[in-house]
Homo-oligomer: A and B are copies of this chain.
Amino acid sequence: MAESPTIPPRRPLTLRDVSEASGVSEMTVSRVLRNRGDVSAATRDKVLEAARELGYVPNKIAGALASSRVNLVAVIIPSLSNMVFPEVLAGVAETLDGTELQPVVGVTNYSPDREEKVLYEMLSWRPSGVIIAGIEHSETARQMMRAAEVPVVEIMDVDGEPVDAVVGISHRRAGRKMAEAILKQGFERIGFLGTQMPLDHRARKRFEGFTETLAKSGHEVLDQEFYSGGSALLKGREMTAALLERSPDIDFLYYSNDLIGAGGLLYCLERGYDIPGQLGLAGFNGVELLQGLPRRLATMDTERHQIGREAARIIVARAKGGGGGERVELEPRISLGDTLRRYKP
């Protein structure tokens, strides 16, 4: 039985195959494929032609082992369902795009255990850097990051002790700032609605900053509601209904994120509340979605895109040598929208 003239290669192609096909040494082929060193135009063409013809794809594993260089940046985030994280990622990807570096994403589902696992897994690929959400990590995780001897950028939150570099906002300050804005507009009977997530440190810090500032002027959070899972918009409605039913004298609702806030806003509008005359509302994050709602919900922009870009910028700078322990604190912008401003300026 004659064999077909073009037998597909059973063994993946190697440099050697390209070397043989082009009559050029492996070393020179390697140089051509990496654009390194001086190679004559003639050999260069021969090599590229042979590689193209064979459909050769270099083996980065071998390359990485030989050169001890891996052009990957580990990006570790809690979730992909919450749009804020993909947004950070987009910023990272944008900045990395002009470079040799590539982002690799790991998701922890807000679990410290999974975070350790994902981190371990990623570090075992010896990435050029780590960008990780949050500043709270298990001691084991911190140990791993320190021991890895690669640049580490903790992002989104600056309230705490970073392992190395940090880029983000102060959620405590954000909470305070919102409290100030609310009080300034004359609201006094304030309710809080948020996620039932003991591990959402950023939400906790905002809440702490918020209540702290209220306390200073003799106010407190009069009622609260928490949720977990499900459609945030729908949960926002349900929680708002429950809270207003229980505490009808509330005059302001502070939501821990924009989606539940949007749900609450839609609910209140349907029920005919006078907003913000009778009832004010505010969310958190500054998500794009808000722009299409009947009213603009007050919120605070958390600059996710910018955070991603800055974090990536630090990794890129470190790859070129130097640096260490950078700290970038961004200032969240408050926007009063149509649900917080009672006194016209």
- Among B58, B62, B143, B294, contact of A55 (Cβ-Cβ < 8 Å): B143
Size category, A interface: 35 or more
User: Which residues of the partner chain B approach A24 to less than 8 Å between Cβ atoms?
Assistant: none
Interface centre among A55, A126, A149, A292 (most CB of B within 10 A): A292
5 A-B pairs, CB-CB below 8 angstroms? A12-B149, A55-B143, A60-B124, A233-B293, A266-B292
Whether, in the assembled complex, A224 has its beta carbon less than 8 Å from a beta carbon of chain B, the answer is no
User: Which residues of the partner chain B approach A105 to less than 8 Å between Cβ atoms?
Assistant: 104-105
Complex: how many Å from CA A59 to CA B125? 6
Of all A-B residue pairs in the complex, the 6 with the closest CB atoms, nearest first, are: A233-B292, A80-B86, A234-B292, A60-B124, A231-B291, A231-B288
- Among B147, B262, B263, B292, contact of A263 (Cβ-Cβ < 8 Å): B292
A46 to chain B, nearest CB (A): 21
User: Which residues of the partner chain B approach A143 to less than 8 Å between Cβ atoms?
Assistant: 55
Complex: how many Å from CA A292 to CA B260? 9
Q: Mark A41-76, 1 if CB is under 8 A from B, else 0.
A: 000000000000001011111101100001000000
Complex: how many Å from CA A104 to CA B127? 13
A337 to chain B, nearest CB (A): 14
